[in-house]
Amino acid sequence: MTGSKTIRVLIAKPGLDGHDRGAKVVARAMRDAGMEVIYTGLRQTPEQIVEAAIQEDVDCVSMSILSGAHNHLFPKVVKLLREKGGEDILVVGGGVIPEEDIPGLKEAGIAEIFTPGTPTGVTIDFITKNIKRN
Amino acid sequence: MFDKNKLEEIKLEKEKWAEEKVKKAISRFPERKETFRTGSNLEVDRLYTPEDIQDIDYMEKLGFPGEYPFTRGVQPTMYRGRLWTMRQYAGFATAEESNKRYKYLLEQGQTGLSVAFDLPTQIGYDSDHPLSQGEVGKVGVAIDSLKDMEILFEGIPLDKVSTSMTINAPAAILLAMYIALAEKQGITPDGLSGTIQNDILKEYIARGTYIFPPEPSMRLITDIFEYCSAHMPKWNTISISGYHIREAGATAVQEVAFTLANGIAYVEAAIKAGLSVDDFAPRLSFFFNAHNDLLEEVAKFRAARRLWAKIMKQRFKAQNPKSMMLRFHTQTAGSTLTAQQPDNNIVRVAIQALAAVLGGTQSLHTNSRDEALALPSEDSVRIALRTQQIIAHESGVAETVDPLAGSYYVESLTNAIEQKAMEYIEKIDKLGGAPKAIEKGFIQQEIQNSAYNYQMAVEQGKRIVVGVNKFKIEEEAPKGLLKVDPAVGKLQEQKIKQLKASRDNMQVSAVLQELKDWAKTNNNLMPVIIRCVKAYCTLGEICDALRTVFGEYKASINI
């Protein structure tokens, strides 16, 4: 990323949990850092998230789950993105996610997992350095 | 509370002390910060004296425990008579697994049950619904029909325990199941004690498990009020919850203000539905958060009690003192728990639990140290329960009523929180009440601002979180976290299949049709919902029937 184009991020809440304090705080911090941010709202299916990501032409999908459904839902989003031509979209996740689940999620194509206590700056830095699109 | 001459003397002496002692001390050792603030950002003075509470008329502002305005507590003898109910929120996987955990907790000395439902149950989907995939049994127990409830409470006599159920949008259905289950145990509804959360407004604001739009949701709530006032005198018909509002980032003042504003909306809705205030208000209960700022939290609980009493008496003209009593459950603050050095959370929880007890709570859930990582393990749950038992039996704070009353600091904080919360309530009134303020996004936006400010203060090091932005260590990943078997979903799906093959499906369609017909009228829906659950309609079928009549809520998104 050379800074020539504004980074577009989709903040998404897959699954049924309603805890979006973290998602909203991260969204606002990204916006304050100069990114364009779209928030899906609660209870999005992987299909809806992927559709929004492609329609909005985002560089990154950043998902948050606190219910424990991450192993089921995060990989599904990556898989669908690849099927729909969004394989160059960076996918990251956050929430209450046990350490031991992280290697499996990374293997499934989630580039990084941010657990509780991560400063918003760390997430923003990671996205800035790792987006695949020019 | 003090005579004028004495106050004048104290004032002069304080000025002298500030001039002679404080200045000298500061010149040698500067204070740690320019300004000091509470956890909720209220400014804190160096010292509080009788001057700060000189305007307090004791009888008007404090009074006696068990009497208006209940600042000092809702019971005359408080914990000298009976300790608070130690009630750990629990539930996961299947009804069978959760039943085992409940029996374990009761054996360990817990005195009430608190049922956590999984998200599909809370949102009115059966376990075999496509949206339930990956969520079944995760954050609570999966309940698809009365069959699951029978297993959940197997061997637990419902007239001997009080049961709290964290259920909101489908509260009427779970309550109906509890009533039907009690009947099978030979217990009539008037013998049941417990609570349903049943607070939809805070779902729109902060927690997210809504189903129907506000209007039919409020109707379901007032139907429950009406049904229970006639049949269930020991049942708390609602638990008006500040807990989730605070977890979403609100300050202590906002927690009190938005919770009581929601409370006002429920009272208004019930009165509009034709109920008289003293018929339902004594069964309203509340649910608050306990954060780390010990004295601010104590002041918050006291302020909330006084403010609610005033609202009920002056605004709603309640006559029965029970209608004015703010009885509440407390849970320690999940959002303050850290994934880093998780054992430190035991200390945080102890401080928060102490705040709840010093603030006069009626029941308490203490969080487990590992909740920033996963669902709590059995060992962690035991430590959390032991924390309450140590406060109850070893700390001495339960031996006298409202022990911090009269503290210059606590009383002036109590006043400040009450006053600032009242200002918010007036603002919400001007917007047309809580439902309108939610629709306009006002309440959500205020909370989001506080959450963001808090996060920035932590990231800039203005607020220290031990182990997160200071006193960090290298750590290994914690072991022994609880894992829910992913097979739970399949298991529940099989149970539903079996149920649908064995019940009287003719009767099922008949009662579901009856429910739809009643939903279009003004009839109280409780009796027909009870008929539905007794016919073993599933939760999803009942909610779907109501969805076809009521429609579904669509949230507006602001960030």
C-alpha span between B220 and B209 (Å, rounded): 15
**A72 lies in which domain range?**
8-130
The torsion angles phi and psi of B233, rounded to 5 degrees, stand at: -65, -20
The torsion angles phi and psi of A61, rounded to 5 degrees, stand at: -110, 120
Cα→Cα distances B354→B184, B293, B369, B390, B392, Å:
40, 11, 16, 10, 9
CATH at A88: 3.40.50.280
Cα nearest neighbour of A28 on chain B = B559
C-alpha span between B112 and B88 (Å, rounded): 8
Q: Which residues pair with A9 in a beta bridge?
A: A37, A60
CB contact under 8 A, A69 and B134: yes
| SS3 state at B412 | helix
Could you tell me if B397 lies within 8 Å of chain A, comparing CB atoms?
no
Per-residue pLDDT, A133:
66
Q: Among all chains, which residue has been given the structure tokens 């903040």?
A: A11
- Torsion sign (Cα): B92, B97, B101, B102: positive
Nearest one of B348, B343, B318, B320 to B332, comparing CA atoms: B348
Which residues in chain A have Cβ-Cβ distances shorter than 8 Å to B206? 18
Which residues in chain A have Cβ-Cβ distances shorter than 8 Å to B135? 15-17, 67-69
Residues A103-128, buried b or exposed e (16+ Cβ, 10 A)? eebeeeebbbbbbbbbbbeebbebbb
Q: Which H or E element spans position B393?
A: helix B378-393
The torsion angles phi and psi of B522, rounded to 5 degrees, stand at: -100, 10
Compute the residue count for chain A. Answer: 134
pLDDT, tens only, B246-284: 999 999 999 999 999 999 999 999 999 999 999 999 999
Q: Are B267 and B313 in contact (CB under 8 A)?
A: no
Nearest one of B165, B189, B214, B187 to B526, comparing CA atoms: B189
Which residues in chain A have Cβ-Cβ distances shorter than 8 Å to B123? 16, 43
Q: Are B192 and B178 in contact (CB under 8 A)?
A: yes
Per-residue pLDDT, A110:
97
Which amino acid is located at B187 in the chain? I
Which residues in chain A have Cβ-Cβ distances shorter than 8 Å to B368? none
A47 within domain boundaries: yes
Q: Which residues pair with B470 in a beta bridge?
A: B466
A120 within domain boundaries: yes
Within 10 Å of residue B529's Cβ, how many Cβ atoms?
31
Cα nearest neighbour of A26 on chain B = B452
Q: Which residues pair with B498 in a beta bridge?
A: none
Cα nearest neighbour of A75 on chain B = B134
Q: Which domains are delineated in chain B?
A: 4-53 (no CATH), 58-459 (3.20.20.240)
The total of structural domains in chain A comes to 1
Token pair for B147? 């069959």
CB contact under 8 A, B557 and A41: yes
Q: Which H or E element spans position B10?
A: helix B4-17
**pTM for this structure?**
0.94
Nearest one of B247, B329, B231 to B280, comparing CA atoms: B231
A3 within domain boundaries: no
The torsion angles phi and psi of B193, rounded to 5 degrees, stand at: -130, 145
Of B122, B373, B451, the CB nearest to A24: B451
Compute the residue count for chain B. Answer: 559
Please, what is the Cα angle at B454 between B452 and B457, to 5 degrees? 110
From B81's Cα to the closest Cα of chain A, the distance in A is: 38
List of residues 6+ apart from B160 with CB closer than 8 A: none
Q: Are B189 and B174 in contact (CB under 8 A)?
A: no
Q: Among all chains, which residue has been given the structure tokens 């008329």?
A: B57
A14 within domain boundaries: yes
User: Residue A1 — very low, low, confident or very high, per pLDDT cuts 50/70/90?
Assistant: very low
CB contact under 8 A, A39 and B249: no
Per-residue pLDDT, B33:
92
From A130's Cα to the closest Cα of chain B, the distance in A is: 22
Segments in B248-335 forming alpha helices (H) = 252-272, 277-280, 294-310, 321-324
Q: Are B304 and B360 in contact (CB under 8 A)?
A: no
Please, what is the Cα angle at B83 between B237 and B313, to 5 degrees? 45
DSSP per position, B270-294:
HHHTT--HHHHGGGEEEEEEE-S-H
C-alpha span between B413 and B407 (Å, rounded): 10
Segments in B127-168 forming alpha helices (H) = 146-152
From A131's Cα to the closest Cα of chain B, the distance in A is: 23
From B204's Cα to the closest Cα of chain A, the distance in A is: 10
- Torsion sign (Cα): B14, B35, B356, B315: positive
Please, what is the Cα angle at B432 between B429 and B436, to 5 degrees? 120
Per-residue pLDDT, B545:
98
A1 within domain boundaries: no
From A42's Cα to the closest Cα of chain B, the distance in A is: 7
Q: Among all chains, which residue has been given the structure tokens 């990231």?
A: B459
Q: Provide the Cα torsion A107, A108, A110, A113; round to 10°.
A: -60
Which amino acid is located at A132 in the chain? K
Greatest C-alpha distance within chain A: 38
Q: Among all chains, which residue has been given the structure tokens 């109850």?
A: B392
pLDDT at A96 over 60: yes
- Torsion sign (Cα): B192, B66, B333, B388: negative
Cα nearest neighbour of B244 on chain A = A19
Within 10 Å of residue B395's Cβ, how many Cβ atoms?
14
Count Cβ atoms within 10 A of the Cβ of residue B507 and give its class: 0-12 exposed, 13-18 middle, 19 or more buried. Answer: middle
CB contact under 8 A, A31 and B478: no
As a whole number, the mean pLDDT across chain A is 93
Regions in chain B scoring below 50 on pLDDT: none
pLDDT at A89 over 60: yes
Could you tell me if B411 lies within 8 Å of chain A, comparing CB atoms?
no
pLDDT, tens only, A7-58: 999 999 999 999 999 999 999 999 999 999 999 999 999 999 999 999 999 9
- Torsion sign (Cα): A43, A49, A51, A53: positive
The torsion angles phi and psi of A65, rounded to 5 degrees, stand at: -140, 135
C-alpha span between A25 and B127 (Å, rounded): 32
Which residues in chain A have Cβ-Cβ distances shorter than 8 Å to B197? none
8-state DSSP, B376: P
CB contact under 8 A, B452 and A69: no
Which residues in chain A have Cβ-Cβ distances shorter than 8 Å to B119? 15-17, 67
From B303's Cα to the closest Cα of chain A, the distance in A is: 26
Interface test with B, best of A10, A11, A16 (most B CBs within 10 A): A16
CB contact under 8 A, A98 and B135: no
A72 within domain boundaries: yes
A69 within domain boundaries: yes
